[in-house]
Chains A and B, each alone.
Chain A
Amino acid sequence: MKKFLIIRSNQESSWGSCKVISPNLQECYNLLKGTGFEVEYFDIEEKFLKSDALEDGTTIIRLAEKIENYKPTEIVFSDHLPHADDVLKFLSFYIPLAKLPPLVFHVYGDFTYHSHSWWKLGEKLKDHPVKFIVASESQERLFRSFCYDDSTLETFMFPVNGKDYHFNEQERIQIRAENKIIDDELVIMYAGRISLQKNLETLIMEYAELVRTSDRPTRLWLVGGFDDMGAPFQGVIGHDGMMFDKINRMIESLPQKVRATITLWGNQPKTTLRKLKNAADMFMSFSLYHDEDYGMSPAEALACGLPALLTDWGGYSSFVSASGKWTCRLMPVKLTKYGHELTVSRIREFFDQQKAVKSEASTRRKNAEEFMKEFSIVNGAGKLKKILNKEFKAFSGFTINLEYYSKVYWSVRHGYELNIQLTPSDDNFYYQVYKHYISGKET
């Protein structure tokens, strides 16, 4: 019997996608209980050192006691924060790290953001049995480029909760009626943060061009809260209200006929989000975000049977079905000396393809079911079990590249200076790292 002690955050993540990913992942672990696995959780506050100052005893002492008493065969860090390096640094005061059982780390998109902590952690974990579990093939390539040896690396794509996201014809009919959408009208949808690096400008401008020449009435729905983080590693600092102003001005500058077809829905609860996804006809996201290791929003759209056009960037390429069981196409991305280059003609191709396909409820349902066969929580639990049953290997450490990268990142993060090595280009360090986010898959 394997005994897992899962260290998780006791509060909801500030990241929208992690608010969904964490409970889904824990569901997978819960399903393993009684199948040769025993699972216990240890809750820890994100800022545990600060909160400890207010309490009797410390979180870390309680964790050390838990490890001593429960005697886990493996310890799992399931959340992105608090960072495992912080926890292990303080835990080592009470239990030498060499005496800890094998360690499992779920690695999120913020691996690059927290590269400084990962580098420090790598130094501590040399020769210790570990598993790093990343969420997509692209993230695996990126992570591997910083490792001497990839035998400790596994890929596990986060599951989607089918109770929250599925195709429902009644909801489609209801929402389309409420919004006065006529039968042959097409709704293109984007859902996710409205953030600079999510590249909404391209979507809006290309949509305007699409509508201008389309013979079918079309709408664009943008669902999500505005996020003003900008692109801090590339020297673009946002202020509250910046993205709204940018997007609003862009929409206002379009002809009235086009403007009237664009709806900004703002943040929506998941039930409304599912209904909107059910009512839409295609999903588009042209993100070039620096931490796009997965893509929970496209995954949820595919779980509702929506055909999707996504950039060939980060985790997005992992959603393509090689056997065409569901529809997910990629828009090619290239890194040139001028930055990212997108093949926007793919939008027209995709739109025309989808326009020709009548959106039958049976097709949508079938696509959704096929997708969920791969991405359901039950299926996820099975995949996770296989990964966890694999033999642990001793970690040989991160390469010196991670130290260099973390230092450059660190200085930019704290100084908000533009560093030529981190701006999108094809002849700098950004390229060496982020070329792995491009799969080159033909779809």
Chain B
Amino acid sequence: MEKKEKLEYVQWSYEFIKGAYLNKSEDVTWMDKLYTDYLQPFSLEFFGPKNMMLLFGGHEFCNLTDRTQLVARDGVIPLLKFFQELNPKDLDLTLYIPKDFCFLVPNEWRSKVKFYSVKSNIQYSSSNLPKKLFISGILNSTLADPDELEESLKHLVSVLGEKNIANMDIMAYFPNKRSDLWGSWDDENVLKFSALIFKYLKLDIKTPLWPKLHNESDFKDCLYYEINSGLFIKHSYLTNFTLSRGAGLLEDRPLEQGFTLTSEMKASLYHSYCFYDFDYATAEAFEDPMKFAHFPYFKRAIDFQKKGVKVNFQWEKWYASYIKKFYKIKAKQGADQFLIKSIAALSGQSDN
């Protein structure tokens, strides 16, 4: 297969969702607040370079016409929606999105989209171990599943080592859903999540409540590890909060082919943002998008409905129906076959 054709395959997701529209129910008008409430404290605002913000408020995108550059903290779903619903010709801005999501950018947006990543001054690894570990994330039936958590924990243990983890002070913070959206313990996988955390880390884990955690001012010698599949928010408030108080992240992966570092801007004494240009023609991910860490989450978002996830009340129904909508509309137009073929092609199983 020619490389050019392969590049076209990257567009499958946009072909797939093309023409799909969200049914804006009356509920949606008051759901903006619920969206950010639901994702708190990860959705809280903070100050960052180049107008760092969440593009999506749960209903509509923020006003983009008064900015010439913007850094989006959003995850896969809002970015998909953004690229799908907004016309790049209408906006005169440079949009920076998380580097992990470069596979999301459709052709018509490519001249306007650049990339960024978060870098902590201290990066922990098997040869540079932290004394403390702070683990947090978005764990509930809608936003994560136990398999995802297990994968993340296995990765963490493989880097830090089981024995070393046993000697670390561990703090965990996994906020619940709003009480009116809360399903049963079984639905929410609470026991599974808890069991996995205790199994892979240790039993002696501190679990502070938000007011206490928010007053912590010193995260030095501490690794911040976030279980976040990046469905809704990729760069969270908690990442910024802990890094600006001295925490470190795991060592960066080597820079993927195609990226060129253009600038680095400090965001605190302890962390900074790296900004990149991306050459789509030379990027290896466009030969195999699976090489991108977040690509599976993207597929999962599209594939969400197949999991039979139980949803509760308005907000989640709205999101579930939003995702379902893509699926249903395109299913009528044979999108199922298109999806199956595309994924098979991308994972190298078939060239048909």
Contacts and interface: CB of A to CB of B under 8 A. Distances in A.
Interface of A: 11, 14, 16, 47, 225-226, 228, 238-242, 244-245, 248, 264, 266-267
19 contacts: A47-B211, A225-B217, A226-B268, A239-B45, A240-B47, A240-B237, A241-B46, A241-B267, A241-B268, A242-B47, A244-B244, A244-B268, A244-B269, A245-B48, A245-B49, A248-B266, A264-B269, A266-B270, A267-B245
B241 interface: yes
A267 B212 CA distance: 18
A14 B215 CA distance: 6
Given A244-B268, A245-B47, 20 more contacts: A47-B211, A225-B245, A226-B244, A226-B268, A228-B47, A238-B47, A240-B46, A240-B47, A240-B241, A241-B244, A241-B267, A241-B268, A242-B47, A244-B244, A244-B269, A245-B49, A248-B266, A267-B217, A267-B218, A267-B246
Interface of B: 44-49, 211-212, 215, 217-218, 237, 240-241, 244-246, 266-270
A92 B115 CA distance: 60
Contacts of B237: 240
Contacts of B269: 226, 244, 264, 266
Given A14-B215, A47-B211, A228-B47, A240 B240 contact: yes
A16 B44 CA distance: 24
Q: Chain B interface secondary structure, helix, strand, loop or mixed?
A: loop
A239 B244 contact: no
Contacts of B241: 240
A239 B46 contact: yes
Nearest to A11: B212
Nearest to A224: B217
B217 A16 contact: yes
A358 B141 CA distance: 68
B272 to A, nearest CB: 10
Contacts of B217: 16, 225, 267
Contacts of A264: 269
Nearest to A237: B45
A244 B48 CA distance: 10
Which 7 A-B residue pairs are closest in the complex by CB-CB distance?
A240-B46, A241-B47, A14-B215, A242-B47, A239-B47, A266-B269, A244-B268
A239 B44 CA distance: 9
Nearest to B45: A239
B47 A266 contact: no
A241 B211 contact: no
A228 B46 CA distance: 10
B333 to A, nearest CB: 44
A441 to B, nearest CB: 33
Contact of B48 (A225, A226, A238, A241): A241
Contacts of A225: 217-218, 245
A266 B246 CA distance: 9
Nearest to B219: A267
Given A245-B47, A266-B269, A266-B270, A240 B244 contact: yes
Nearest to A248: B266
A238 B215 CA distance: 16
Nearest to B211: A47
B158 to A, nearest CB: 31
Nearest to A12: B215
A226 B268 CA distance: 9
A252 to B, nearest CB: 9
A244 B244 CA distance: 9
Contact of B267 (A11, A238, A244, A266): A244
A422 B287 CA distance: 61
A388 B48 CA distance: 51
A164 to B, nearest CB: 17
A431 to B, nearest CB: 31
Contacts of B215: 14
A400 B235 CA distance: 48
Nearest to B220: A267
A241 B237 CA distance: 11
Contacts of A16: 217
Interface centre among A47, A228, A239 (most CB of B within 10 A): A239
A264 B244 CA distance: 13
B71 to A, nearest CB: 12
B237 to A, nearest CB: 7
Contacts of A267: 217-218, 245-246
A164 B46 CA distance: 35
A384 to B, nearest CB: 28
